[in-house]
Chain A
Amino acid sequence: MKQDDLRDEALYRHTRAEELAWHHAKALGVSRRRFLQMAAASAAVVAAADALGRAAAVSQAAPADLVVKPTPPEWFYDFASNKEMRWENMASRGYLVPNELFFVRDHSRTPRIEVSTWRLKVEGSGVSRPLELSYDDILSLPETSVIRYVECAGNGRSFFEAAYGKRASGTQWKLGAIGVAEWTGVPLREILNRAGLKPTARDVMPEGLDELRVRRPMPIAKALEDDTLLVYAMNGSPLPPDHGFPVRVLAPGWIGVANVKWVGRLEVSEQPLYTPWNTENYVFIGPDYAPVPPAKGPVLTTQSPKSAFELPWDGELPSGRRTIRGRSWSPFGKISRVEYSVDRGITWQTATLREPNISRAWVRWDFEWDAMPGSYSLRARATDEQGNRQPANVPFNEQGYLFNAVIGHPLTIRP
């Protein structure tokens, strides 16, 4: 391209944006060919969105695709409809997980929702004025933004096999089924109040418009918390299709499934509500847990404190002095302390915490290490402001939820 062309400001900005994107992609190890493929895919979506306005935020990807956004192997571990974030890509990334790197957990596949005909129904015995709201109605309601994490209940599931010699059911995630974003939307409370929430209401059940109609009830007390939202924007963009467009629930600190995506209905009930999502799944089943009828075991609500290194899993680094970084999070509050061990848990030191340290989001931490050649198993152990500390082990449960024991992160240091 001739330098003269860049006197056109629009062209200049477009060219510079492409250069910047390529620079970032290259730093992440994305090949030129892969980058061009991804750029073409996102250009098609952008062009369609320009042509059709906000309604076209629904992807133009073929319906046969399980998820809409590009999920190259450099960024994600592939589990079909589930895509695990590769932690090494969060190194030098700042606090938030960009939408394109955010993990995807779809119970079936991402539905393509036409927003012009989409409606949110709010109904049930717990409200006196049932409502039907359009997307524009939702956008006109009081708005708030919070920075919080969303994490799959099964994040860390694969480590049950290492600990107990048997697999728990479901996607064998390592620790990448988590992300922190800025979520913008309407407090769920605002919507429930507009529908005439009765003092006798007990449960709220958001229902997804996906193929399996995900239905995960929560008690009114959780639904009325300040930061429980009906979200329509993520990190400053309309909620992407894979993350729940047009709206999803944000239930901070609670297991991922409570953050129902693609919500089409809120059932508010004076009676406790039961679905497979709180009786057969997202409950603890195992020798250490008794059934809680009609549930097969104690029902999961909050997540558990965890830590992860911003390093490739079982990767290699050259020897020498370096800064090792990671992040820790808890559903119960800010992280107050992170300890680390480079000698398989024999000795522990304290890592340096870096601001911001946001409750129900995460904290970044680091330490200096003079890495000598050899095989390592790095450990990190977080304690939150309530005194909750990651345990040495957790009991087995058949569906592999809430594994938050301290784990060894395998790493080889080359001479």
Chain B
Amino acid sequence: MTRRTGVALLAVGLVIVGLGLSPHWGGSAAAPRIVKVKAFEFAYEPKQITVPPGAVEFDVTNTGSIEHTFLIDDPAKKTVGKIASILPGKTEKLTVTLKAGVHTIYCDLAGHREAGMLASLKVQP
């Protein structure tokens, strides 16, 4: 890929992100796609998220009343990203580079996952 086409693709990618559409190119060098998530007692919204492989920024807002966390486990159950504490009313950000496969988002505070703080994160080209 020439530098010029790379820049052009990046520009297209940014426009797509700006429009909230799903970008469908294979590279991972683009600016991270932004996904907004709400965390509360005891769920995440949305419950199902689909993104292409590559860099993704999760902006997680705690709209509940108590503290929460935000973890992403890959298909092999290895944790690939974590926000260790989000106090009520706060937004914390996490940028991860994701490979294809079904990932799991969950809160690792005691009892929260069991109570429903789980979401599915599908990473597909």
Contact = CB atoms under 8 A, between A and B. Distances in A.
Contacts, number: 71
Contact of B110 (A66, A81, A82, A257): A257
Contacts of A257: 110
Contacts of B115: 211-212
Interface string A81-94: 11000000000000
Contact of A167 (B41, B84, B88, B113): B84
Interface residues of A, number: 29
A26 interface: no
B93 interface: no
A79 interface: yes
A257 B111 CA distance: 12
A282 B67 contact: no
Interface stretch (A133-141, A169-177, A333-341): A169-177
Given A171-B67, A280-B108, 6 more contacts: A81-B65, A109-B65, A167-B84, A169-B84, A280-B110, A399-B108
B110 A276 contact: yes
B111 A82 contact: no
B67 A79 contact: yes
B71 to A, nearest CB: 8
Interface in A129-168: 166-168
Interface string B83-115: 011011000000000000000000011111111
Contact of A277 (B41, B71, B87, B110): B110
B111 A170 contact: no
Given A79-B67, A80-B66, A172 B85 contact: yes
- The interface residues of chain B, by DSSP majority, are classed as loop
Interface in B61-82: 65-67, 69, 71, 79, 82
A150 B84 CA distance: 24
Interface residues of B, number: 20
9 contacts: A79-B87, A107-B109, A108-B111, A170-B85, A213-B111, A277-B111, A280-B113, A398-B79, A400-B84
A398 B79 CA distance: 10
Residue of A108, A213, A277 contacting most chain B CB atoms (<10 Å): A108
Nearest to B111: A212
A65 to B, nearest CB: 9
A257 B109 CA distance: 13
A281 interface: yes
A276 B114 contact: yes
Contacts of B85: 167, 169-172
Residue of A168, A276, A282, A400 contacting most chain B CB atoms (<10 Å): A276
Give the top 7 A-B pairs by smallest Cβ distance, nearest first.
A167-B84, A212-B111, A281-B110, A81-B66, A169-B84, A80-B66, A169-B69
A168 B85 CA distance: 8
Nearest to B107: A169
A321 to B, nearest CB: 40
Nearest to B70: A169
B67 A82 contact: yes
Contacts of B67: 79-82, 170-171
Contacts of B110: 107, 212, 214, 257, 276-277, 280-282
Interface string A382-411: 000000000000000011100000000000
Interface string A199-213: 000000000000111
A396 to B, nearest CB: 12
A211 B109 CA distance: 14
A171 B84 CA distance: 9
Contacts of B112: 212
B109 A170 contact: yes
A214 B111 CA distance: 7
